[in-house]
Structure 1
Amino acid sequence: MIRLALIGIGTGHPDHLTLAAIKAMNAADLILLPRKGDAKSDLLDLRRTICAEILTGPTHVAEFDMPERAATLPYLDAVDAWHDAIAAIWMREIGRHLPDGGSVALLVWGDPSLYDSSLRIAARLGSVAIHVVPGITSIQALTAAHGICLNELARPVLITTGRQLRERGWPDEADSVVVMLDGGCAFQGLAADGMSIWWGAYLAMPQQVLIRGPLATAGPEIMARRAELRQAHGWIMDTYLLRRERAAISRDAPTS
Structure 2
Amino acid sequence: MRKLLIIGIGAGDPDQMTVQAIAALNRADVIFLPDKGQEKAALRHLREAICARFIEKPRRSVTMETPRRAEAGDDYRGVVDDWHARIAASYAALFRLELAEGQTGALLVWGDPALYDSTLRIVERVRAGGLALDWEVIPGISSVQALAARHRIPLNRIGEPVLITTGRKLAEGLPQAPDGVVVMLDGEQAFAKIAPEGLEIFWGAYLGTPDEILIAGPLATVSDEIVRVRAAARERHGWIMDIYLLRRCD
| Alignment equivalent of 1:236, drawn from 230, 233, 240 | 240
Superposition deviation, residue 187 in structure 1: 0.8
What is the distance in 1 between the residues matched to 2:231 and 2:109?
26
Match of 1:52 in 2: 52
What is the distance in 2 between the residues matched to 1:7 and 1:66?
18
Kindly indicate whether the alpha-carbon contact (under 8 Å) linking 2:69 and 2:79 is maintained by their aligned counterparts in 1.
yes
What is the distance in 2 between the residues matched to 1:42 and 1:154?
39
- What CA deviation, in whole Å up to 9, does each residue of 1:43-89 have, x standing for no partner? 01101111111111242111121101122772111111111111111
TM-score (normalised: structure 1) = 0.93
Identity within the alignment, %: 51
Kindly indicate whether the alpha-carbon contact (under 8 Å) linking 1:87 and 1:121 is maintained by their aligned counterparts in 2.
yes
Shift in CA distance, 4/42, structure 1 to aligned 2, threshold 3 Å: same
| 3-state secondary structure, aligned to 1:224 | helix
Match of 2:111 in 1: 110
Q: Which aligned pairs between 1:4-15 and structure 2 lie closer than 5 A?
A: 4-15=4-15
Match of 1:79 in 2: 80
What is the distance in 2 between the residues matched to 1:21 and 1:107?
9
1:207 aligns with 2:211: yes
Kindly indicate whether the alpha-carbon contact (under 8 Å) linking 1:138 and 1:203 is maintained by their aligned counterparts in 2.
yes
| Alignment equivalent of 1:140, drawn from 135, 140, 145 | 145
Shift in CA distance, 21/72, structure 1 to aligned 2, threshold 3 Å: closer
Kindly indicate whether the alpha-carbon contact (under 8 Å) linking 2:201 and 2:216 is maintained by their aligned counterparts in 1.
yes
Superposition deviation, residue 125 in structure 1: 1.8
Kindly indicate whether the alpha-carbon contact (under 8 Å) linking 1:2 and 1:128 is maintained by their aligned counterparts in 2.
yes
What is the distance in 2 between the residues matched to 1:50 and 1:114?
21
What is the distance in 1 between the residues matched to 2:188 and 2:72?
19
Kindly indicate whether the alpha-carbon contact (under 8 Å) linking 1:39 and 1:234 is maintained by their aligned counterparts in 2.
yes
Of 38-47 and 185-194, deviating more is 185-194
What is the distance in 2 between the residues matched to 1:173 and 1:154?
13
Q: Which aligned pairs between 1:92-107 and structure 2 lie closer than 5 A?
A: 92-107=93-108
What is the distance in 2 between the residues matched to 1:32 and 1:149?
35
Of 90-99 and 188-197, deviating more is 90-99
What is the distance in 2 between the residues matched to 1:118 and 1:176?
27
What is the distance in 1 between the residues matched to 2:147 and 2:95?
35
State the 4+ residue runs in structure 1 displaced beyond 4 angstroms: none
Kindly indicate whether the alpha-carbon contact (under 8 Å) linking 1:29 and 1:58 is maintained by their aligned counterparts in 2.
no
Match of 2:68 in 1: 68
Kindly indicate whether the alpha-carbon contact (under 8 Å) linking 1:111 and 1:135 is maintained by their aligned counterparts in 2.
yes
Pairwise CA RMSD: 1.2
Kindly indicate whether the alpha-carbon contact (under 8 Å) linking 2:33 and 2:63 is maintained by their aligned counterparts in 1.
yes
Gaps of 5+ in 2: none
| 3-state secondary structure, aligned to 2:26 | helix
Superposition deviation, residue 4 in structure 1: 1.0
What is the distance in 2 between the residues matched to 1:157 and 1:196?
14
What is the distance in 2 between the residues matched to 1:68 and 1:155?
39
Of 185-194 and 229-238, deviating more is 185-194
TM-score (normalised: structure 2) = 0.95
**Count of paired positions:** 245
Kindly indicate whether the alpha-carbon contact (under 8 Å) linking 2:2 and 2:100 is maintained by their aligned counterparts in 1.
no
| 3-state secondary structure, aligned to 1:27 | coil
Gaps of 5+ in 1: 247-256
What is the distance in 2 between the residues matched to 1:185 and 1:242?
12
What is the distance in 1 between the residues matched to 2:76 and 2:104?
33
What is the distance in 2 between the residues matched to 1:72 and 1:135?
29
- What CA deviation, in whole Å up to 9, does each residue of 1:165-200 have, x standing for no partner? 002x11122110000000111011221111100000
Match of 2:34 in 1: 34
| 3-state secondary structure, aligned to 1:183 | coil
| 3-state secondary structure, aligned to 2:187 | coil
Superposition deviation, residue 207 in structure 1: 0.5
